[in-house]
Amino acid sequence: MATITAFNDPLFLHPSDMPGMNLVTESLRGVENYGIWSRAMIIALRAKNKITFIDGSYPRPESGHATLNQWERCNALVLSWIMNAVSKEIFSGIVYSIDASVVWSDLKEQFDKVNGSRIFSIHRDISRLVQGSNTISVYYSKLKHLWDEYSSLVTLPSCECDTARQYLKHEQQQKLLQFL
């Protein structure tokens, strides 16, 4: 007897969920675009309610469990979406994988390299950016892109303590000064 999966269950497959889909427009090439790529993939997988297949929070059910076949279908679908979103060179290294969360963590370990030179480069780009002949909206968009990338690389205090609030206030003031 077939069971009906609720639409908000990660095992639910929408008729439009196909293995050949490209969830993101940019392919993972390596360290240089891993941050943007992974962020785009997380957003797309969250929208598809499949994030649990890459973060490890929905592990493979035991053999014989009623949901095993559906889990394997969903996991294979997520794997295909990841494979469709990587370069040919990276694809050849993951094509024989069978677990989306293992592939995701391997890609993270291999390419999520926050290094001082990238942080320095972004900081330098922020300080050198000028409006020039750009419209204010184009200038702000470029600056915001750099701020967002910098924020994704530099871990900030996330508590509600006074020190964190002061740091956040200082960061906002720095952004205002950079913008002006």
Look at 146 and 41; give whichever has higher pLDDT: 41
Q: Where are the domains of the chain?
A: 31-111, 116-179
User: In the predicted model, is pLDDT for residue 113 greater than 90?
Assistant: no
- pLDDT one-digit tens code per residue, 119-170: 888 888 888 888 889 898 998 899 988 888 887 777 666 677 887 788 778 8
Looking at per-residue pLDDT, the higher value among 163 and 114 belongs to 163
Helix (H/G/I), strand (E/B), else coil: 14:
coil
* Range in 82-91, 94-103, 112-121 the model is least confident about: 112-121
Contact 73, 5 (CB under 8 A): no
Helix, strand, or coil here: 105? helix
Half-sphere exposure of 104 (CA within 13 A, CB side): 24
SS3 108: helix
Give yes or no for residue 1 having a pLDDT over 50.
no
Q: How far is it, in rounded angstroms, from Cα 59 to Cα 75?
A: 10
The stretch 54-59 carries a mean pLDDT of 92
Mean pLDDT in residue range 4-29? 88
- pLDDT value of position 108: 92
How does the average pLDDT of the chain come out, rounded? 87
Query: Which contacts qualify for 13-16: CB closer than 8 Å, 24 or more apart?
Result: 13/70, 13/73, 13/74, 13/77, 14/48
Q: Do residues 126 and 92 lie in contact, with contact meaning Cβ atoms separated by under 8 Å?
A: no
User: Taking residues 22-49, what's their average pLDDT?
Assistant: 91
How far, CA to CA in Å, does 124 sit from each of 18, 34, 95, 131?
42, 20, 38, 15
Say how far apart CA 123 and CA 144 lie, in whole Å: 12
